[in-house]
Amino acid sequence: MSDKKRTPVNHNKPQNTQNAKYKRKSYIQDVSQEKSNIWLLLPIILSMSVLPFITKLKEYNTHLSDYSWFTYNDEYTDLFLLYKQKFFLIITFAMAFILISKFFINRKELNFSYIFIPLGIYALLALLSSLFSEYRKFSFSGIHEHFESIFVLFGYCLLVYYATVYVKTERDFEIITNCFVVSIIVMGLLALSQYLGKDFFRTKMGLSLIFPEKYMNHLDLISFKFEKGRVYLTLYNPNYVGSYVALAVPFLIILALLIRKKFWKLVLYILAIAGMFIALIGSESKTGIIALIATAVLGIIIFSKKLIKYFYFSIPALLFAVCTVILYNRANDNILAEQLKKAVNFSKTEVSLQDIKTLDDEVVITYKNNNIHIKFFTFDDGYAYFEITDDDNNNIPLQQIEGYLSFTVKDDRFPEFEIGATEYEEDLCFYVTIDGHEWYFTNQTDDGTYYMINLYGKLDKIVTAPSAVFTGYERYASGRGYIWSRTIPLLRKYIILGSGADTFQLVFPMQDYVNRYNFGYYDQIITKPHNMYLQIGVQTGVLSLLAFLIFYAIYFISSLRLYIKGHYKSFYSQVGVAIFLSTFCYMVVGIANDSILAVAPIFWAMMGLGICANIKAKKCIKEEMSLAKSDTETKLAAN
C-alpha cells in the first residue's frame, strides 16, 4: 500500500517541475525575440541625456519693452534655454513624424490605455488656452527666461506616449538607462568642478564652447550670475539642480540596490550618486533635500518587507546614511540643519510700508496704519509746492532742507520721511524717501493723474494685488510665499482655460510695486511662480491641472499597488520601481520649483518609461506568483 501511495506522487513531482521550467523558458524566449531599434530610441535618449547639456549664448528679442514693468531694452541674451527649446522642438517633430507614419503603416501597433485620457485632456486644454490667449504670440514662441511654448508642452505629452510605443524590450530599457547614467556622471563631474570653485565654464575651453567667437576677445567683460562654489550645472539656476537630483538620485539608488548583475555597473551607480549629492549640496537647494526625504519615506513603505527581511543589512545601512549626514552637517557649520529650518519656518511678516495709491488727485501712502496724503502743484515758471495732510485733513509739519525744494516730515507717524521736487527727462516730478528708499511720482501726464516712475523710468500706476493663503507669510520659502500668495487669486480667472502656455509673467500683478519692494522683488521681473502646479493652473487652466494630477494619480496608484507587493525579481519591476520613486520625488520638488525645459523632458520621458515598465512588470509579477504557487503546490504534494 505504501508503494502505491508514493508512486503517483513521484510521478507528479517531476511533471510539475517540468511545467514550471517550461513556463519560465517560454517567457524569456518571447522577450528575446523582440529586437531593439536604437534609432527609434534616440528621441528618448536625446531628451534625457543630451538636452540638459545644451548651453550656448544666443541673442534674442524679448518683445516685452512695451510693457510698463519691463525695461526699454528688448535685446537680451540666453545661455541655457533658447537652444534647448530649438533642440527639443526638433525631437518633438521627429516623434510626431514617426508616430504619424506608424499610424498609416500599421495602426494596430499603436498603444492605447485609459491613463492617456487625462493626458490628452491636459494637452487639449493647453492648446485651447493658447489659441484663445490674449498673449497668443508668446504661447506659440515661448517667452523671455522660460521658452516653454505650447509646442514644448505638446512635446512633453508626446514623449510619454512615444516611450510606451517604442520601448519594448529589456535591451531598450538598458540602452536608455545606461545613456542616462553616463550623462548623470558627466553632470556630477561638472558639479564637482563648480563646487570646488574650478567651474569648467569659467575656463577658456568652457567659455569657447558656450560663447560665440566674437565674445572671446572680451572675456574680461563676461561675468557670472552665481558666485564661485555654487553649483548650477547647465540648468539655468541652482534651484533646478534640485529638480535634476530629484529625478536622478532615487533612480540610481534603487538600481544600485536591486540590479547587481555586473560589478562595474554598481561602481558607476555609486559614482553617479556621489556626484549628485555634491550637486545638491553645492546648489543649496532646500527643496531637493526635502523631496529626497519625502521619497525616502515612500521608499521605506514600499520596501518594508525587504527591509524587515534583510534587517541585518538595512539597519546598518540606514545608520551609516544617518551618521554620514550628521557628520557632514557638523563639518559644514550645520548647513543642512539651517537649510531645513528655513524651509519649515513659518513666521509672520510685519511690514512698515503697507500701501501706496497713485490716485487721480493725490498720492496716499500707508505707513504703519497711518496715511499721508501728498498733492503736488506746479507753475509755469517752474516752481512747485506740496500740500501734505493726514486722514483728518490736518497739515503735516515739514522742515525745508536748506537750498533745495525738499522737506523733512516732522511727524512721529512718518519717521525720516523726506519729500522733494526734482526733474525727470525735463518734466517736474517729486520723490518720497521711505526707510531709505526713494519713490518717484509725477502728475505731469496727459491725463493729469498721478503715476509712479519705476526703476526703468516708465510711468505706471501702483496696484495692490489681492493675496491668499500665504498672506502675512510672504517671506516663507525664500520669498516664494509672496509669489504664491499673489498667484493663487489668479486661479479664479483661469478655471476652464488658462492665460496661455508660457504667459505667467504677463498675468502676474507686476504693478504690485509696494509688496514687490517689501519682499525683495522690486528690482526683479517675476517670470515664474516657483510652483509647477500653480504654473499649470494659471497658464493652461485649473481643469488642465486637474487632468495632469489625475494622470499622475493613476500612475502613482497603479505603481504603488504593483510594487508594494515586494516582487522585484524581474528587470522590469526593478526599473519600474526606480522610475516610480524618481517621478514622485520630482512631483514633490514641483511644490517649490516650476517646470523648466532644462529638466522637465527627463520627467516626462520617465513617465512614459514608467508606464511601459509597469505594464511589463505586471505580467512578470503575475508569472512569478503563478510559478511560486505551482512550486508551493508541488512541495505540498511531495510532502
Give 62-85 as a DSSP string. Answer: ---TTSTTS-S--EEEESSSHHHH
Mean pLDDT of 194-202: 93
Residues 232, 283 contacting (CB under 8 angstroms): yes
* Kind plus residue range of the DSSP H or E element containing 59: strand 58-61
Question: What are the φ and ψ backbone dihedral angles of 397, each rounded to 5 degrees?
Answer: -65, 140
Q: Report the range of poorest mean pLDDT among 419-433, 452-466, 485-499.
A: 419-433
Task: Name residue 246's amino acid.
Answer: A
Characterize the bridge pairing of strands 75-78 and 451-453. unpaired
Q: Please enumerate in sequence order all residues whose Cβ is within 8 A of that of 313, keeping only pairs 6 or more positions apart, or say none.
A: none
Burial class, 220, CB count within 10 angstroms (exposed 0-12 / middle 13-18 / buried 19+): exposed
How many CB atoms sit inside 10 A of residue 166's CB? 24
> For residue 634, what pLDDT band results from cuts at 50, 70 and 90?
low
Average pLDDT of the segment spanning 221-248 = 91
DSSP for residue 395 = B
* Residue 601 main-chain phi, psi, to 5 deg: -55, -30
Are the CB atoms for 459 and 331 separated by under 8 Å?
no
Instruction: Report how far residue 212's alpha carbon sits from residue 170's, in angstroms, rounded to the nearest whole number.
Output: 42
CB 297, CB 560: distance < 8 Å: no
Counting beta carbons within 10 angstroms of the beta carbon of residue 353, is it exposed (0 to 12), middle (13 to 18) or buried (19 or more)?
Answer: middle
With a cut of 80, say whether residue 392 has pLDDT above it. yes
Q: Are 79 and 232 spatial neighbours (Cβ–Cβ below 8 Å)?
A: no
Residue ranges in 107-146 assigned as alpha helix (H): 116-131, 136-141
pLDDT grade for 632, boundaries at 50, 70 and 90: low
Q: Residues 350-354: what's their mean pLDDT?
A: 94
**Per-residue pLDDT, 330:** 77
3-state SS class at 432: strand
Say how far apart CA 394 and CA 104 lie, in whole Å.
81
**322 exposure class (CB count in 10 Å sphere: 0-12, 13-18, 19+):** exposed
Residues with Cβ within 8 Å of 75's Cβ and at least 6 positions away in sequence, in order, are 59, 60, 61, 62
CA separation for the pair 229, 195 (Å, rounded): 4
| Average pLDDT of the segment spanning 574-600 | 97
27, pLDDT greater than 90: no
To which H or E segment does residue 387 belong? strand 384-389
Helix (H) or strand (E) holding 437: strand 437-442
- Residue 542 has phi, psi (to 5 degrees) of -65, -35
What the block records as the C-alpha cell of 450 is 498721478
Q: What is the mean pLDDT of the chain?
A: 88
The amino acid that residue 554 corresponds to is I
CA 570 to chain CA mean position, Å: 32
499-522: burial string, b at 16+ Cβ within 10 Å, e else: bbbbbbbbbbbbbbbbbbbbbebe
Assign 556 to helix, strand or coil.
helix
pLDDT at 405: 81
Residue 551 CB coordination number (10 Å): 22
| Residue bearing the bigger pLDDT, 542 or 479 | 542
Residue 152 has pLDDT above 70, yes or no: yes
Give 109 or 314, the one with higher predicted confidence: 314
318-337 confidence digits (pLDDT tens): 888 788 778 877 776 776 77
How far is residue 356 from each of residues 1, 55, 362, 374, 476, measured CA to CA in Å?
A: 103, 42, 11, 11, 23
Q: Is the pLDDT of residue 260 over 70?
A: no
Mean per-residue pLDDT for 4-24?
42
Tell me phi and psi for residue 111, to 5 degrees: -95, 150
Cell numbers found for residue 113: 490605455
What integer is the mean pLDDT of 575-586? Answer: 97
Q: Which stretch of DSSP H or E encloses residue 365?
A: strand 363-367
pLDDT at 452 over 50: yes
Give the confidence band of 14 by pLDDT, cuts at 50, 70, 90. very low
Q: Give 558: exposed, middle or buried? Use CB within 10 Å, 0-12, 13-18, 19+.
A: middle
Residue type, 113: S
pLDDT band at 30 (very low <50, low <70, confident <90, very high): very low
102: pLDDT strictly greater than 90: no
Residue recorded with cell 495602426: 107
Q: What is the DSSP letter of 403?
A: T
572 pLDDT more than 80: yes
pLDDT at 136 over 70: yes
The average pLDDT across 467-476 equals 92
Among residues 279, 319, 299, which one has the least CA distance to residue 581?
Answer: 299
Average pLDDT over residues 4-9: 42
How far apart (Å, rounded) are the C-alpha atoms in residues 317 and 300? 13
How far apart, in whole angstroms, are the C-alpha atoms of residue 414 and residue 398? Answer: 11
The residue among 19 and 69 whose pLDDT is bigger is 69
- DSSP, collapsed to helix, strand or coil, labels residue 248 as helix
Phi, psi of 616 (to 5 degrees): -75, -35
- Tell me how far apart the alpha carbons of residues 34 and 616 are, in angstroms, rounded to a whole number: 13
Q: How confident is the model at residue 142 (pLDDT cuts 50, 70, 90)?
A: very high
Assign 8 a pLDDT band (cuts: 50, 70, 90): very low
Give the tens place of pLDDT for each residue, 503-559.
999 999 999 999 999 999 999 999 999 999 999 999 999 999 999 999 999 999 999
Mean per-residue pLDDT, 37-49 = 96
CA distance 470 to 478: 13
When pLDDT is cut at 50, 70 and 90, the band that residue 144 belongs to is very high
pLDDT exceeds cutoff 80 at 583: yes
What is the pLDDT, as a whole number, of residue 32?
40
Confidence of residue 28 (pLDDT cuts 50, 70, 90): very low
Give CA–CA dist 583/146, Å, rounded.
22
Predicted confidence (pLDDT) at residue 292 exceeds the cutoff of 60: yes
Q: What is the pLDDT of residue 34?
A: 64
CA distances from 187 to 148, 181, 223, 277 (A): 23, 10, 22, 11
Asked whether the beta carbons of 626 and 23 are under 8 A apart, the reply is yes
Confidence of residue 312 (pLDDT cuts 50, 70, 90): confident
Looking at the chain, the whole-number percentage of residues with pLDDT higher than 70 is 89
Percent of the chain with pLDDT over 90: 68
d(CA 339, CA 69): 32
Q: How many Cβ atoms from other residues are within 10 Å of residue 561's Cβ?
A: 11
Residues 198 and 372: their CA atoms lie apart, in Å, by 53
Quote the pTM value.
Answer: 0.90
Three-class SS state of 409:
strand
